[in-house]
Amino acid sequence: MSKRVVLIIQARMGSSRLPGKSMMDLAGAPLVGRILERVKRCKRLDEIVLAIPRTERDQVLATLGREYGVTVFAGSENDLVDRYYSAALQTRADVVGRLPADNATPEPAEIDRIVEHHLALGRPGFSSNLSVIGDSGYPDGIGAEMFDFSLLEQARQRHVDPVQREHVHRNFFDYSVQQPVDASWCPISTVQCPAHFRRPDLVLDVNTQAQYEFMRALYEYLYPRNPDFHVTDIIRWYDEVYRRG
């Protein structure tokens, strides 16, 4: 039987560094709306879930998710491991995809590629092209992470450290030190970025006001020209327009 792949997008209104960023405007729609618009073009996902905290202030995100036609799940605000586990359990996920809602330009084909790669491994583990692993060469923020539900279930029991509970990937892999948590328990895997957009220097996250202004400029330039713009369009804009002022 084929495995059921569910992409879970974590979003909240209470970001400590940039409160309310999830609803900030990008070319006429909220940031989270733009993310949902792009990931709905993925072909290898069985379901998309917008996973939000169970708070009154986050109800605006629940409304937005329903408007975009995706599943909405409300769970723990700070225990992301439990939020992911509960959302995955509810949607019967065999493989869980993780995409933070500060990555405003996910590339559908690259998410499909990491799904296909992960499924082809034939064993439980953690696969990612969300950020650089080793010399993978990916721009930061266009892919996703994939991990098996069985490992998420085990991580929920194994790891009680508050940092790990708040940062799901830290249960499997730490990007900052490029080290697996326990490779014998959870093997780590990645794919090589295609040469024509191999740009590990490019960071496409929205965590600060300056990063938001950058992303807003990107969307205002690219979206009217092509709503389905590709990462190669981003690179061209960055090199030929943005950096030249």
Q: Is the pLDDT of residue 119 over 80?
A: yes
* CA 164 distance to own-chain centroid: 17
As for how many domains the chain has, the answer is 1
Mean pLDDT of the chain: 97
Go through the chain and tell me how many residues it has: 245
pLDDT of residue 16: 85
Continuous H helices in the chain? 31-39, 59-67, 80-90, 108-121, 149-158, 162-166, 209-222, 231-237
Domain that residue 35 falls in: 5-242
With 80 as the cut, is the pLDDT of residue 66 above it? yes
**How far apart are the C-alpha atoms of 113 and 90, rounded to whole Å?**
25
At residue 157, the 3 state secondary structure works out as: helix
The CATH number for 169's domain is 3.90.550.10
pLDDT at 149: 98
Whole-structure pTM value: 0.97
CA distances in angstroms from 210 to 176, 177, 205, listed in the order given: 22, 25, 11
Region 114-128: mean pLDDT is 97
Closest CA to 138 of 189, 190, 94: 190
Instruction: Give pLDDT, residue 33.
Output: 98
Q: What is the model's pLDDT at position 103?
A: 98
